[in-house]
Chains A and B, each alone.
Chain A
Amino acid sequence: QKEVEQNSGPLSVPEGAIASLNCTYSDRGSQSFFWYRQYSGKSPELIMSIYSNGDKEDGRFTAQLNKASQYVSLLIRDSQPSDSATYLCAVDQGAQKLVFGQGTRLTINP
């Protein structure tokens, strides 16, 4: 089974600071990488996708990919209390399938 590892947290960040979430994966052949946000009691919501090495920015979110190190990260700038959620990293494993990490629980403290 191809693996995706995340620190389960909880990660506590003060409001207005940068939250940094990390993910490592085992399959060197993976080409597509995703970050999902999941509020308590709700379904996962896709917030970022990244396919090439480097950074991809979307508003306050930046995804970073380093395929050589098999490492994906998500930065959230100017963190808001509404960013408090569990963040799931997902990586393609071919054949139209994704494998998900266990998620990192993020709490933004006002």
Chain B
Amino acid sequence: NAGVTQTPKFQVLKTGQSMTLQCAQDMNHNSMYWYRQDPGMGLRLIYYSASEGTTDKGEVPNGYNVSRLNKREFSLRLESAAPSQTSVYFCASSSGGRAYEQYFGPGTRLTVT
């Protein structure tokens, strides 16, 4: 039981390049989330998916797109990376319904030069 997994662990991009961050969970959770964490800013929600087939914007969605591929997988895409997107990205999942406990993946450290 791996919990929440993320790939890659580290990535360096040049400005304007694109990439997709992958996330998968094996806990049969309904809800999945993408956050970014910057020094002094805490965790900020980018996008979330309350259930398979639905996605919604969070606090900081600009410059990102998401796909809920199936119940297990939720990907985050940067179409044209900018230095302001340098951050640590965390994926999380939750069983949903009345339960709000979220469980986090190990994170992806992204640098955009």
Number of interface residues of B (CB under 8 A): 23
Contact among B48, B59, B90 with A44 in the assembled complex (CB-CB below 8 Å): B90
**Chain B residues within 8 Å of A69, by CB:** none
Q: How far is the CA of A99 from the CA of B100 in the complex (A)?
A: 11
Q: How far is the CA of A110 from the CA of B55 in the complex (A)?
A: 47
Q: How far is the CA of A90 from the CA of B96 in the complex (A)?
A: 16
Chain A proximity of B28: nearest CB distance (Å): 16
Contact A43 B59 (CB under 8 A): no
Contact A43 B107 (CB under 8 A): yes
Q: How far is the CA of A32 from the CA of B96 in the complex (A)?
A: 13
User: A-side interface residues toward B, CB under 8 Å?
Assistant: 1, 8, 32, 34, 42-46, 49, 88, 90, 92, 95-103
